[in-house]
A and B are shown apart, each in its own frame.
Chain A
Amino acid sequence: MKLQMVGCSHLTASVEIRQQLAFQPDDLASALEDLRLRFPNTEAVVLSTCNRVEVYTAAEDEVVSPSHEDMACFLAEFHNMKPEEILGALFEQSGEDAVRHLFYVAASLESMVIGESQILGQVKKAYEQATLLGSTGPLTHGVFQAALKAARLVATQTSIHQRRTSVPAVAIAELSKQIFERLDDKHILLIGAGEMAEETLEYVRQEGGKSITVVNRNDSRSEELAQRWQCRPARWDRLLELLVEADLVVSTTSSGESIVTFEDFKRVESQRYQRPLAILDLAVPCDFDPLIGDSLGVYLYNIDDLQTVCQRNREDRQKEWPAAEKIIEAETRSFMADLHHRATAPTIRQLQESCAKLKTEELQRLFNKMPNINDPCREEIEYAFDRFINKILHPPLDSLRREASDGTPHALLEALKRLFKLKD
């Protein structure tokens, strides 16, 4: 029985290599089909995300299991590359290490941003797709289901996933939620139309924001972004007017100077009637004059304030690491013990069947010699034989079980086979 993983991640390979080795959703079926043709009787799951490309393979017979080089060839040839180009970027794990690695990956302990929640869904999707395409089997079912269980345990028993670490996520999901109970009835003003604005929009939408206005110096860019995210574009000269009705303002421009001065804000302040206003200034240098934060009902945060929260959240996640690691180790041990027990199952079954056959033959011989025996006596004798066999088999099977908890007991299995003349 061999379980292994070959692949690359953000820890071993450059982004260029990862991009070249990534499997597009449309390629997945042909990749798994290619693997099945190259390595028949081998189960396979392909996990391909922005930060990692990993191919998990499992085979009952170690001889048919692909080697590291085989997998490197497959990955290279599938992506029209030479194996030498990628060998240095690949890493391999097998057996218990592969199981542990998958558990760490699923629980987001191997992610670039520890505790990010997307990876669990990606692992689940990879497993489900492989199952749908018929490339999974008992071993991959077992290890992936155990990985998903371990990841859920980490998520529920630690707070490693609860603390956000990116600036827009902290700004929207943590800070604005401390001010507003909900965002679906709030007027949200997004200033800027760059990457940060787009990332912010994603979080605003996730948190239920509906009434979103995008304003940018370059009208065409704000219109483009607004169209993509189905929100309202507005002209730059309406900025102050929009500040009157806004509840939440997120500013992400790359302007070299403040775009809203204290004097500008004073002009619209009286029209707001001190209604709470959260301003999340993600721009460097700041878009809003810091003095605006002193106004009644205004909660102004700049990038440094948000970075402080991000850093604290990162530290909080790090504090949760030992607890998460403990869960993963316990789950790995439990899975490996189950796997080793499973390896002993055929021998145990053979032993039990052999004894049962022996019992039947001996009982038949005995009952032939005692034709007048009544049914209660017959049952009692059968019961006694069963008890005898169970008592005889108990010590060797118990020893086998104990040995299996530390690894597949090859020597003991071989000894049992030879002692009881069991054939594969």
Chain B
Amino acid sequence: MSSISVVCFASSYAVALALEISRLFFRSGIRGALMIIFAAAGFLAQTLFLVARLTESNTSGWLDWYLLAAWILVAAYLYLTFYHPHNPIGIFILPIVLALIGAAYLLPDARGFTVGASSWGLVHGLALLLGTAVIMIGFVSGLMYLIQSSRLKHKRFSGSSFRLPSLEWGEKITSRCIVISAVLLGVGVFSGIAINAQSGRVPWTDPVVWGSGLLLLWLAVVMVFNMVYRPARQGRKIAYLTLASMVFLLLVLALTQLIPSEHPARTTANASTSMQNHLDRYQIEGGVA
């Protein structure tokens, strides 16, 4: 019998973040292994938690959406830390992970998304979720690029304590993130429109719909700008564009919470249930609840 709560995996990530920050102050031989162990333990706990929640009911909500986005970012963190053990990537990714978990923790637990209703629905949800996660990864690499670029420009050479990835790496990741996120958001938005068109009504006034559309439009403009204006493909400009994309994404996410939306319907049975009540002691008994 096991008991997993949001606090469990959030704490694991917080410890991994603290270990990442400790890089700035002292050297340690076992810190790398400890970081991976704590992050992987949190990742495993979060995976079990999400599996339990998603199999408990055929509906999901923003809680699951935020937790899934955090889950993808942790997977990216583990991958990057494994291949770039000397770069403190966690200092940039883990705060976003904790912020997403925090947002999930504070939001009302409204289960409005129907899981597995149709394969198009699955494509719609997954594409939007992955697109969002990729924008966040692009933001992290863009931020690292700008810090590294500024340090190199001002001749503040990095010591072993805070060694960021090379500018070339940052540029490659940020430019790829813009293209991939635009494609994924495009698939997500258009599959959503297609699903609604089948039922005869597309909720154009829904903030999630037009917010996602605006975000897609922004990414499309960025892509076109990159293609047309050659210097935009280089260096800092593309990093600034990923930062702007992240701001855009945050605005869209805020809109979806501030303006009533059908994503998901707020009139579900759980609508009044506080996430905190729900998540504080979310238990998986006998394996998957």
Contacts and interface: CB of A to CB of B under 8 A. Distances in A.
Contacts of B235: 274, 276, 296-297
A178 B168 CA distance: 8
Given A157-B29, A159-B27, A273-B231, A180 B167 contact: yes
Given A276-B234, A301-B155, A316-B159, A179 B168 contact: yes
A299 B153 contact: yes
B27 A273 contact: no
Interface in A295-345: 296-297, 299, 301, 305, 308-309, 312, 316
B167 A179 contact: yes
Contacts of B169: 181
Interface in B162-190: 164-169, 171-172
Contacts of B164: 178
A54 B230 CA distance: 60
B148 interface: yes
B160 interface: yes
Contact of B157 (A178, A182, A276): A178
A299 B164 CA distance: 16
Contacts of B55: none
A275 B168 CA distance: 10
Contacts of A305: 155
B272 interface: no
B155 A273 contact: no
Interface string B224-253: 000000110111110000000000000000
B3 to A, nearest CB: 40
Contacts of B168: 179-182, 276
A119 B152 CA distance: 32
Interface string B132-156: 0000000000000000100011010
B22 to A, nearest CB: 16
Interface string A202-238: 0000000000000000000000000000000000000
Most chain B Cβ neighbours within 10 Å, of A177, A273, A301, A316: A273
Nearest to A294: B153
A175 interface: yes
B158 interface: yes
A157 B30 CA distance: 11
Contact of B166 (A163, A179, A273): A179
Most chain B Cβ neighbours within 10 Å, of A159, A178, A182: A178
B215 to A, nearest CB: 27
Interface in B104-137: none
A309 B160 CA distance: 12
Contacts of B153: 293, 299
Most chain B Cβ neighbours within 10 Å, of A180, A274, A308, A309: A274
A30 interface: no
Contacts of A177: 166
Nearest to A309: B157
Most chain B Cβ neighbours within 10 Å, of A162, A180, A273, A276: A276
Interface in A170-188: 174-175, 177-182
A178 B234 contact: no
B231 A274 contact: yes
Nearest to B155: A305
B160 A297 contact: no
A374 B41 CA distance: 64
Contacts of A274: 231, 234-235, 237
Nearest to B153: A299
A275 B231 CA distance: 7
A312 B159 CA distance: 9
Contacts of B158: 178
Interface of A: 157, 159, 162-163, 174-175, 177-182, 273-276, 293, 296-297, 299, 301, 305, 308-309, 312, 316
* Top-7 shortest CB links A-B: A274-B231, A181-B168, A274-B234, A273-B230, A181-B166, A181-B169, A180-B168
21 contacts: A178-B158, A178-B166, A179-B152, A180-B166, A181-B172, A182-B168, A273-B233, A274-B231, A274-B234, A274-B237, A275-B234, A276-B171, A276-B235, A296-B231, A296-B235, A297-B234, A297-B236, A299-B152, A299-B153, A308-B155, A312-B157
